Structure 1
Amino acid sequence: MPSAQTGRGTTSLAAVPASRDLVVDFIRVACMFAVVAVHLLMMGISVGPAGIGVENPLTSLSWFAQGTWFGQVMPLFFVVGGFASLTSWRSLQRKGGDAGDYLRTRVLRLVRPTVALYAFLTLALWIATAVGVPGDLLKVIAAGAGVQLWFLAAYLICQAMVPTMARFHKVAPYRTVAALATGAVVVDVLRLGLERNPWGFDSNPIGLLNMVFVWGLLQQVGFFYADGVFDRFARWKLIAAAAACYLALMALTHDGLYPVDMLTNQNPPMFPLVLVGLAHVLLVKAAYPWLQRTVQQGWVQKVMFVVGSRAMTIYLWHLPLIIAMFGLALVLRLPFPEPASTEWWLSRPAFYVAAWALVLLVSAPLVRFELAGTALAPGASRPALWRIGLATVLAIIPPFVVMRGALDVWNASWGLVLLTLAVALVTGRTGDRKWKSPVVLERRAG
């Protein structure tokens, strides 16, 4: 997540360039607040004679499925991520950089903080196993602590696509979007068609192709945002287009072709998420004048920079910390209202504030992994492109496996090994042949 930083990695309001789109930063930080809120609300813990129960209270709400059309913010994450990626890529190109430079930087930015999380989870899960924590309880805790890791796999795939897709966008922007949209629809048709086969064939692996088509298409929408395409339309047209997206969603979900719940559409991703992301960015542009005034408020900028400068760290750690917070509450024998009851809802704001306090406290020392420089050491050569490519693949595998199954002590352990190896592969080696490009890869804004 982009943030304004000084040379030492600390935030400074004065360091914000006049050309910077603070609304994009605001959106990403607002999405982070929404993600933490949704994950907190999805954990309903009850304590009774039968023991500790865990459920998702949100699914009991009659309006929850339709509410995800507005509250599912991950598509918008990929749109604004596309904006930031194209901006960074173009800046790197102006300095003489290439695809290897870009991907090396992104691997370091995304994987180093993830290594820290995997190291903690591996240690914690092995200790819990050694002290005899019941297997069923440990399985639930581990799975919950790794739910958010799918994003790393999806985002790394999209980041690897940026140089190529930026070139396609420059040459044929609308044909590129049409090709991605067609691919997404074809994958959905195959997946949904095979779902209804009489042989019990698992069609989900086919749906995984949409990690390229759906998330890649949303990233491509971010490219259009960076080009200012949405600025050309009057507000009423933006609102009308957003309404058309929602009408299309109604048509696609009305006959049961697609699930109404956009969280169900997420892994593997399905085409309706594109409509959700497009509707959201259209509404953002419609509200742009108001958002611009909002981000000029001093206190808003301070919140944006505190959260934005450690966004990846917060995202990775918020679920394990929320679980730890509830675990501490159980140890202290604090009252746990019946999930989804009036008392439960009234207690959520206090838990939300406590969760953010804990997240900000713990992320303070951990953010160093996110903010560490990516410049090559003096005398070091840039790793070969094959090493960078291999590192990217190795970094994708652990969160991808968690997305397809669940986190446990074993995939946390070997995942830590692969992620550590990925970082080592993209670290410059001293004593090799000097790299000839003049680019200095010190990129604080990611």
Structure 2
Amino acid sequence: MSLATSTPRPSIDLTRRDLAVDLVRVCCVLVVVTAHLLMVGVGFGADGALEISKPLTEQPWFAAVSVFGQVMPLFFALGGFAAITGWRSLRARGGDGADFLHARLIRLVRPTLPVFVFFTVALWGARGLGAPEDVIAGVAAGVGTPLWFLAAFLLCQWAAPLMIRLHERAPWHTLVGLAGAATAVDLFRLGTGVAMVGLINLAFVWLFAQQLGFLYADGVFFRMRRRWLLALAAAAASLTVAGVAGGVYSPDMLANQYPAVFAIGLLAIVQLCGLVLVHPALTALMRTRPARALTFVVGSRLMTVYLWHLTCIIAITAVCLLVPGWHPAPGSVDWWASRPLVLVAAFALVLLLSLAVARFERGPRPLTATERRAPAWRVQLATLLAFVPPFVILIHGLDPTLALFGLSLYSSALILIRPDRVATGRTTRGGGSDRRG
């Protein structure tokens, strides 16, 4: 039986949690938080006006280190691992695609609703108080940056049942097909100069990364010899370098996700190979109490940390601006020296905030005897409503109107997926018992 038509036999025990994956997912989010902290530079210009800059991206060495700072390919690949293991567990219990998508919506939409509530009140309130429009626009664009993730991840979760079926029937053909489609989009965008065409790769690139996670779950990477893992990583890295040299990809790996280009997929291969190589060490590390504690504290509120960290960073920055001597010029030696303290303060504020909002990350509660899950068409419609606001924000950036738009659609999505009430034991006119539903 050929590899192109058969699903590889798992060589890792999927009945137990992969603790290394839990740790790496947490580390990915911590890297994102740190990178965003170093990109937020707010100070006063020579004329006393407020200026917003990105000190990290202005450094001559930024493009080189962005290879290590771009962790979203690995995060999406591990999302694929979680999706296929969750899907197989759900199917074993008799669940279907609508059950899968419903659970994912609860975990993604519900934690985001308070974010849109806050953005709507804060941005419209600032406008009502007469804050300068350029300041509102700059702050909104900053705090709204993480929301692009929701559009890409929701799309991947929506497609997961179909992509898992394709993986189980033809894993390598599916992977090559996604890679080819993503590359074709890149070349067409480059050849025509129509940047908006690149938005198509929001699907192909991130689905490719997710598909790699399916292979990881099936143990494909674990069965490869060390030298082959190194060779595969080197080949993917070489293709990335060639793409950068040819002008297809940016040397800034963070820029390669706006819009996504296939360099992201190649980077996912490199990162997964690296994860497998250090997997034994990470597993051993997860046997220590500090690693378990960090993974539990951050991992149990991962969406809260991701969605709120920039808001907390900007809030702390605003406080520093109000206190004389607490706002060194962005990019200065004193500014860089102050970043560790600001990072600690931002995490403390996020953790404090999580006491109020982390409960929104809880999964769907079990249905009672008088409830049934929302029908599949409502789950699908809710997914569309949840996808649209972050997709539009990805293109235009956050502003007060889009914050209100997101609040409206996310509220509607949660209403759509509320369980239906089922009448049981109801007495009919003829004196019988109606037990339909």
TM-score by length of 2: 0.91
Deviation for aligned residue 1:269: 0.5
The structure 2 residue matched to 1:25, chosen from 16, 22, 25, is 22
**Aligned residues of 1:388 and 1:425 also touching (Cα < 8 A):** yes
Pick aligned residue for 1:247 from 238, 244, 251: 238
Q: Aligned AA for 1:134?
A: P
Counterpart contact for 1:108–1:374, Cα < 8 Å: no
> Which has the larger displacement, 273-282 or 230-239?
230-239
Instruction: Tell me the secondary structure at the aligned position of residue 56 of structure 2.
Output: helix
- Residue in structure 2 matched with residue 82 of structure 1 by the alignment: 80
- Relative distance call for 1:393 and 1:432 in structure 2 (3 A) is farther
**Would you say 1:305 and 2:302 are equivalent positions?**
no
- Going from structure 1 to structure 2, the CA distance change for 1:432 and 1:55 (only over 3 Å counts) comes to farther
Query: 185-194 or 48-57, which moves further after superposition?
Result: 48-57
Contact 2:371 2:419 in 1 (8 A): yes
- State the alpha-carbon separation in 1 of the partners of residues 263 and 210 from structure 2: 15
1:34 maps to a residue whose letter is V
What is the aligned counterpart of 1:190 among 188, 191, 196?
188
Q: Equivalent residue for 1:34?
A: 31
**Could you tell me which residue of structure 1 aligns to residue 279 of structure 2?**
288
Q: Please give the per-residue CA displacement for 1:317-374, whole angstroms capped at 9, x wherever unaligned.
A: 1111111111111122343223222222211111111111111111121011111534
For structure 1, which segment, 389-398 or 56-65, has the greater mean C-alpha deviation from structure 2 after superposition?
56-65
Alignment of 1:129-140 (within 5 A): 129-140=127-138
Hey, what does 1:213 align to over in structure 2? Answer: 204
Counterpart Cα distance in 2 of 1:433 and 1:83 = 39
Task: Name whichever of 231-240 and 166-175 sits farther off.
Answer: 231-240
Residues 139-181 of structure 1 deviation map (CA, whole Å, 9 limit, x = unaligned): 1111111010000011000000110011011010001101111
In the TM superposition, residue 250 of structure 1 has moved relative to its aligned partner by 1.2
Q: How many Å separate the matches in 2 of 1:43 and 1:111?
A: 26
Check conservation: 1:115, 1:419, Cα contact below 8 A: yes
1:376 shift after superposition: 2.6
Tell me the residue number matched to 2:213: 222
Find the residue that maps to 1:336 and give its secondary structure: coil
> Residue 263 of structure 1: SS of its match in structure 2?
coil
Aligned counterparts, 1:115-194, within 5 A: 115-194=113-192
Q: Is 1:384 aligned with 2:382?
A: no
1:103 corresponds to which residue? 101
Structure 1 residue 136: Cα displacement: 0.9
Q: Pick which of 366-375 and 213-222 moved more.
A: 366-375
Partner of 1:442: none
3-state SS of paired residue (2:367): coil
For 1:309-348, list aligned pairs within 5 A. 309-348=300-339
Please give the alpha-carbon distance, in whole angstroms, between the structure 2 residues aligned to 1:328 and 1:337: 13
Greater CA drift, 101-110 or 18-27? 18-27
* 2:416 corresponds to which of 419, 425, 432: 425
Separation of aligned partners in 2, 1:163 and 1:430: 27
Q: CA deviation at 1:64?
A: 1.0
> Structure 1, unaligned stretches of length 5 or more?
1-16, 196-202, 435-446
Alignment partner of 1:54: what SS?
A: strand
Contact 2:103–2:364, Cα closer than 8 Å, also in 1: no
Distance 1:94 1:433, change over 3 A: farther
1:44 to 41, 44, 47: 41
C-alpha distance in structure 1 between counterparts of 2:424 and 2:222, whole Å? 47
Q: 1:93 and 2:87 equivalent?
A: no
Q: Does 1:362 align with 2:360?
A: no
| Structure 2: distance between partners of 1:255 and 1:282 | 25
CA contact (8 A) 1:79 1:218 kept: yes
Amino acid at match of 1:176: T
- Segment drifting more, 64-73 vs 26-35: 64-73
Aligned partners of 1:381 and 1:433 also within 8 Å:
no
2:222 aligns with 231
CA offset at residue 299 of structure 1? 1.1
Q: Distance between the aligned counterparts of 1:433 and 1:173, measured in 2?
A: 45
**Structure 2 match to 1:404:** 395
Whether 1:268 aligns to 2:270 is no
- 2:3 alignment counterpart: none
In structure 2, do the counterparts of structure 1 residues 80 and 372 end up closer, same or farther at CA, with 3 Å as the change threshold?
closer
Q: Read off the aligned partner of 1:140 and give its amino acid letter.
A: G
**Number of aligned residues:** 411
Rounded Cα–Cα distance in structure 2 between residues aligned with 1:282 and 1:364: 37
2:190 corresponds to 1:204: no
Contact 1:376–1:427 under 8 Å retained in 2: no
Deviation at 1:432, TM superposition (A): 6.5
Tell me the residue number matched to 1:5. Answer: none
> For the residues of structure 1 that align with 2:419 and 2:396, how far apart are their CA atoms?
34
Q: CA RMSD in A?
A: 1.6
TM-score, structure 1 as length reference: 0.89
Identity %: 45
Question: What do residues 3-61 of structure 1 show as CA deviations (whole Å, max 9, x unaligned)?
Answer: xxxxxxxxxxxxxx982100000100000110000000001222243222111112222
How far apart in 2 are the matches of 1:217 and 1:335? Answer: 45
Match of 2:57, SS?
helix
| More divergent stretch after superposition (220-229 vs 124-133) | 124-133
**C-alpha contact (below 8 Å) 1:381/1:428 kept by paired residues:** yes
